[in-house]
C-alpha cells in the first residue's frame, strides 16, 4: 500500500509567504503589471468622456490599481503563486498568438502616446451630395487586379517598412503606407489637356508616375486595394484625393503611434494626424499627393462626394 505523504500547510504557507516590507513592494509592482492590461481593455471599451488632460482615464487607472492592490494584499500569503500564474497567463498568450507581452507593450505605448498627442478629427462639411465625377471611368481605371499594379504594390512593401517588428494586426495598413510612400516620393503633378479631363488608368500612370489629382488617386486606390487595403476617393471642389480605411478609434491610436514613432518619424515630426470619421464610426486617413505622411493636412474641407471601393 502506497503511503501518501501529508502536506504541512502551515509550513508551506510560511515558505510561500514573502517577508515584510518586500511583500508590499512586490504586491505594488504586481498590481501595476496587472493594472496595465486591465486598464487597456477598459480604455478600449468605455466611452471617452473627453475630460481635460484625459483625467477620466487617469481616474480609471488609479481605481483599477487601488482595487487590485488591496485584493492582492488579502492574498499576500500566496503572492509567489499569484506572480507565477500571472506570468504563465502572459506566456501562454504570447505562445498561442493571443494577448501576450508584445501586445500589452504595443497597446500601452500607443494609448499613452495618443493621450499626449491627439490626432485631429477633421469635420466633414457636406454642402450637398453630388454625383461623383467620371464615376464609371474612374472605377474602370482602378485596375487593382492588373499584374503590373499588383507587382508594383508588392515591390513597395519590400522596399519600405519590411523590417517592422510586431503590430501583426496592422501589417496590411503598414504595407499600404509603404505604397503611399513609394507613390508620393515619385509623383510628378501634370495638368490634364485643356479640352477636358483625361482619366489615366492605374497601369498607365505606372509608366511615369505623373498626372493630376484624379490620376494619382486612381493609382493609389488601385495599388492599395491590390494588397488588401480599403480605399475610397473623396471629391471636393476642384479636387479628388484618396483615403484609406484605418478602422475604429482604437485602431487609430496604434496607427497614430506607428506613423509618428516608427514609419514617418521625420515627415510627421511636430505635425497633426488628420482624419475623417464616417457615419459608421470608421476612421479614414488622407493619402493625397500633397501629404508627406498618411494623415497629412487636407487641401479642402468641403466634401461633395465619396466613392468607396470595397
Can you list the domains of the chain with their CATH numbers?
9-116 (no CATH), 122-308 (3.10.620)
How high is the pLDDT of residue 185? Answer: 96
Measured between alpha carbons, how far apart are the two ends of the chain, in Å?
Answer: 71
How high is the pLDDT of residue 137? Answer: 95
How high is the pLDDT of residue 309? Answer: 84
The CA angle 47-51-57, to the nearest 5 degrees, is: 60
Cα separation, 47 vs 28, in Å, equals 28
Nearest in space to 79 (alpha carbons), one of 39, 28, 37? 28
How high is the pLDDT of residue 211? Answer: 95
**pLDDT classification of 81: cutoffs 50, 70, 90:** confident
- Rounded to a whole number of angstroms, the CA Rg of the chain reads 26
Burial per residue of 180-201, b for 16 or more beta-carbon CB atoms within 10 angstroms, e otherwise: bbbbbeebeeeeeeeeeeebbb
Cα separation, 252 vs 261, in Å, equals 14
Residue with cell 496587472: 34
Q: What is the pLDDT of residues 187-245, one digit of tens each?
A: 999 998 887 789 999 999 999 999 999 999 999 999 999 999 999 999 998 899 999 99
- Best-predicted range by mean pLDDT among 9-18, 23-32, 36-45, 165-174? 165-174
**pLDDT classification of 146: cutoffs 50, 70, 90:** very high
How high is the pLDDT of residue 242? Answer: 97
Is 47 buried (19+), middle (13-18) or exposed (0-12) by CB count in 10 A? Answer: exposed
Is 259 buried (19+), middle (13-18) or exposed (0-12) by CB count in 10 A? Answer: buried
Q: How far is CA 161 from the centre of its chain?
A: 15
Higher pLDDT, 231 or 88: 231
Is 27 buried (19+), middle (13-18) or exposed (0-12) by CB count in 10 A? Answer: buried
Higher pLDDT, 109 or 175: 175
Amino acid at each position: 500500500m502506497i503511503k501518501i505523504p501529508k502536506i504541512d500547510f502551515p509550513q508551506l504557507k510560511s515558505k510561500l509567504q514573502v517577508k515584510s516590507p518586500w511583500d508590499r513592494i512586490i504586491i505594488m509592482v504586481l498590481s501595476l503589471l496587472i493594472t496595465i492590461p486591465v486598464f487597456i481593455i477598459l480604455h478600449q471599451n468605455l466611452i471617452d468622456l473627453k475630460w481635460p488632460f484625459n483625467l477620466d482615464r487617469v481616474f480609471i487607472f488609479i481605481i483599477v490599481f487601488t482595487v487590485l492592490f488591496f485584493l492582492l494584499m488579502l492574498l499576500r500569503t500566496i503572492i509567489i503563486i499569484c506572480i507565477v500564474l500571472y506570468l504563465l497567463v502572459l506566456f501562454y498568450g504570447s505562445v498561442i498568438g493571443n494577448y501576450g507581452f508584445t501586445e500589452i507593450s504595443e497597446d500601452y505605448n500607443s494609448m499613452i502616446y495618443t493621450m499626449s498627442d491627439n490626432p485631429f478629427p477633421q469635420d466633414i462639411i457636406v454642402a450637398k451630395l453630388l454625383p461623383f465625377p467620371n464615376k464609371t471611368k474612374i472605377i474602370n481605371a482602378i485596375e487593382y487586379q492588373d499584374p503590373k499594379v499588383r507587382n508594383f504594390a508588392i515591390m513597395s512593401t519590400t522596399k519600405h517598412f519590411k523590417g517592422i517588428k510586431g503590430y501583426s494586426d496592422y501589417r496590411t495598413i503598414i504595407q499600404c503606407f509603404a505604397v503611399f510612400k513609394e507613390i508620393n516620393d515619385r509623383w510628378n503633378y501634370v495638368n490634364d489637356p485643356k479640352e477636358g479631363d483625361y482619366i489615366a488608368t492605374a497601369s498607365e500612370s505606372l509608366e511615369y508616375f505623373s498626372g493630376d489629382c484624379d490620376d494619382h488617386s486612381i493609382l493609389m486606390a488601385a495599388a492599395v486595394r491590390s494588397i488588401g487595403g480599403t480605399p475610397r476617393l473623396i471629391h471636393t471642389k476642384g479636387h479628388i484625393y484618396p483615403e484609406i480605411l484605418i478602422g475604429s478609434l482604437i485602431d487609430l491610436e496604434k496607427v497614430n503611434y506607428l506613423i509618428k514613432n516608427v514609419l514617418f518619424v521625420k515627415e510627421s515630426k511636430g505635425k497633426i494626424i488628420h482624419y475623417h470619421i464616417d457615419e459608421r464610426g470608421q476612421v479614414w486617413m488622407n493619402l493625397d499627393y500633397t501629404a508627406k505622411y498618411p494623415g497629412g493636412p487636407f487641401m479642402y474641407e468641403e466634401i461633395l462626394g465619396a466613392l468607396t471601393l470595397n
